[in-house]
Amino acid sequence: MKEKAFRPLFPPGILDGSIVILGTGIAIYHILSTFFIIQGETEHYITHLGSLLVLLMLVNLRKAGKTKSLCIILPCMILGVITMLYAWFGVDRLQGEVEFISDTDFIMGILMMIPVIVATWLWWGPIIPLMVIASILYFAFGHHLSGTLYHTVFSPKYVVSMLTTSLNYGMFGYLLPISANLVFYFMLFGGVMQGVGVVPSFIELGKLLGRVLPGGPAYSALIGSSLVGMITGSGSANVAVTGTFSIPAMIQSGFRRHEAAAIEGSVSTGGQITPPVMGAAGFIIASFLGVAYIEVVQMAVLGAALYYLSLFFGIAIFSYSRGFQRYTGPVEMKVVFRRFPVFIAALLLLIVLLVERYSVTFSCTSAIIVTMIMAFVLIPESRSIRVVARSLTEGAKMAAQIAMALAIIGMLAQVANTTAIAPKISVAILSLTKGMVVPSLILIAIIAVLLGMGLPLTAAYLITAVTLLPSMWSLGVDIAASHFFVFYFAVWGAISP
């Protein structure tokens, strides 16, 4: 019996066109916002979240069947548009209002949470949304609990205003500006780099190294993933880009399937700790520390270098022990000479501008423009409006995924701050470990790894940082070191069985 063909609610061509048009429009809006003041700061954050919410829902409509689209995705997309417009038009009245909101504001504030929670659930799975829902319930009803978990009584309107309608806290608190002013531009930079065809040069460079050392395709994965990681900051995106070549090539060279997958997973995971793009977590670390992002980049360089150096020696020793041969296939040097200079020039410009303390928005936008100009000159395949539009759209789609996660985790962080749950957890940890540093660090590392196994890096790091870092500080651990400690162990959770 034949399975029914998958059919989305709307014709695929219409959905694909809508995604490209909206994604390109969002990218152009953010680029223009770098040079011109288009609207107020809060209005910008609402526009950022609302437009990316619609984009992510359109992407989900493209992948979902009719029933799911009609019952869940389309209603949530419409609800998201209505609630974001309500916030945008009422920004002067709502901004800063805490507790003393109208009944209509109260209802709209609750409805505002729903599409963001659903969008996060559709993309990242149920764990983050369920944790946030549990935290909201704790915020509203935690005063009924006894003992350590008890907190002060908060009125329902206070809860909703702190999470949504005040437009200064919760969903629109300190994490959403990180998405709108920092993360988006780096994701756009990575999307454009991939879209104009720079990535194939990374693979060819890896092949060159593989001609010198045994286990050749493994080095293609190592070089390719480290370079892709520098522009995406995403482990999963890294695997998707480089793994399609490296895993089959490693298997063909004699690696067992699980060995090829393990190598690709390990080298791709390093992309999340490799500057200059380390995903949203790097920007959140800079925000927590109150320093420029370039300072976080400088702190991260040594750790990333040591990680990839250890992988290099690990692959070399493993390849020698198994007697693998060098790579003997062709290397497209034309691809390297035409495409790699685009990456080098844009990356150097980005780093120089950041070191000179130009804003992230200006630095990334400048690098994006240089990438497009050089790609137009050197890469014939990129000389197309369609390629440019799809590149901008890919960047916007990557940014949308992170924006939803940051918006929803912003509510969880607000609950932790307002209810003072973090110090209570810190006291519990110190009590459990008798205030000893090493046992406390081991326990926190285990928690970070466990969270990293089931959550995206940003969520795993942020939850650990908000709830557990105070216990490390009370033990005298350096603040910057403590952030990188939980960050690294949250990253390792992604490759922990």
In this predicted model, what pLDDT tens digit does every residue of 423-454 receive, in sequence order? 888 788 888 888 888 998 999 999 889 888 87
Q: Is the pLDDT of residue 105 over 90?
A: yes
Burial of residue 131 (CB within 10 Å: 0-12, 13-18, 19+) is middle
Percent of the chain whose pLDDT exceeds 90:
40
370 neighbors 351 (Cβ within 8 angstroms): no
Q: Is the pLDDT of residue 1 over 50?
A: no
Burial of residue 218 (CB within 10 Å: 0-12, 13-18, 19+) is buried
pLDDT tens, residue by residue, 14-47: 999 999 999 999 999 999 999 999 999 999 999 9
pLDDT tens, residue by residue, 43-62: 999 999 999 999 999 999 98
pLDDT at position 432, please?
Answer: 85
* pLDDT tier, 81 (very low <50, low <70, confident <90, very high otherwise): very high
Spatial distance between the Cα atoms of 167 and 369, rounded to a whole number of angstroms: 33
Mean pLDDT taken over the chain: 87
Average the pLDDT over each of 102-111, 224-233, 475-484 and give the range with the smallest value: 224-233
pLDDT tens, residue by residue, 255-280: 888 888 888 888 888 878 888 877 77
Spatial distance between the Cα atoms of 477 and 198, rounded to a whole number of angstroms: 41
pLDDT at position 328, please?
Answer: 75
Residue 378 neighbours by CB under 8 Å, 6+ apart = 338, 339, 341, 342
Percent of the chain whose pLDDT exceeds 70:
97
**For helices 421-432 and 437-454, what crossing angle results, to 10°?**
120
219-232 mean pLDDT: 77
347-371 mean pLDDT: 90
Average the pLDDT over each of 61-65, 370-374, 401-405 and give the range with the smallest value: 61-65
pLDDT at position 121, please?
Answer: 93
* pLDDT tier, 241 (very low <50, low <70, confident <90, very high otherwise): low
* pLDDT tier, 5 (very low <50, low <70, confident <90, very high otherwise): low
pLDDT at position 48, please?
Answer: 97
pLDDT at position 237, please?
Answer: 66
Spatial distance between the Cα atoms of 216 and 249, rounded to a whole number of angstroms: 9
Higher pLDDT, 296 or 252: 296
201-214 mean pLDDT: 80
φ and ψ of 445, to 5 deg: -60, -40
Which strand (E) or helix (H) includes residue 133?
helix 127-141
Q: Is the pLDDT of residue 492 over 60?
A: yes
Q: Which long-range contacts (CB under 8 A, 24 or more apart) does 9-16 make?
A: 9/61, 9/64, 9/65, 9/66, 9/69, 9/70, 9/74, 10/61, 12/62, 15/58, 15/61, 15/62, 16/62
pLDDT at position 452, please?
Answer: 86
pLDDT at position 268, please?
Answer: 83
175 neighbors 413 (Cβ within 8 angstroms): yes
pLDDT tens, residue by residue, 287-344: 888 888 889 989 999 988 899 899 888 888 888 888 877 777 788 888 889 899 998 9
Is residue 156 reached through a cis peptide bond, with omega within 30 degrees of 0 on the bond before it?
A: no
Higher pLDDT, 211 or 395: 395
Token pair 């540093």 in the structure block, residue: 437
DSSP letter at 183 equals I
67-78 mean pLDDT: 90
Higher pLDDT, 172 or 146: 172
Spatial distance between the Cα atoms of 199 and 242, rounded to a whole number of angstroms: 8
pLDDT tens, residue by residue, 176-191: 999 999 889 988 998 8
Higher pLDDT, 372 or 231: 372
Higher pLDDT, 133 or 282: 133
Residue 315 neighbours by CB under 8 Å, 6+ apart = 215, 218, 219, 222, 263
Higher pLDDT, 92 or 3: 92
Q: Is the pLDDT of residue 204 over 80?
A: yes
Give the angle 286-288-292 at the CA atoms, nearest 5°: 25
